[in-house]
Amino acid sequence: MFTDTINTCAANAARIARLSANNPLGFWVSSAMAGAYVGLGIILIFTLGNLLDPSIRPLVMGATFVSP
């Protein structure tokens, strides 16, 4: 049932393990960039959430987090 999904996740994990073994600096840079993107997203969520009425704040913050 979930075999394709599990195989895809396993292949991705193997790719990440190879990257960390073959190119540790590249792995750390990509990890730092991913953390920076998450941090910018959190800043955006709280900035937009603080501008609104507290009754709809969770809805807007959640919608901002999910939007592409």
pLDDT single digits (tens) 8-61: 999 999 999 999 999 999 999 999 999 999 999 889 888 888 888 989 988 888
Q: Residue 7: inside a domain, yes or no?
A: no
Residue 5, in any domain of the structure: no
Instruction: Examine residue 15 and state whether it is found in any structural domain, yes or no.
Output: no
CA 13 to chain centre: 16
44 belongs to a structural domain: yes
Domain count, the chain: 1
With a CB cutoff of 8 Å and minimum separation 6, the contacts of 45 are: 61, 64, 65
Is the pTM value of this prediction over 0.85?
Answer: no
Full domain range(s) for residue 30: 25-68
Residue 52 lies in a domain: yes
Residue 8 in any domain: the answer is no
Does residue 63 sit within a domain?
A: yes
> Does residue 67 register a pLDDT over 80?
no
- The answer as to whether 39 is a domain residue is yes
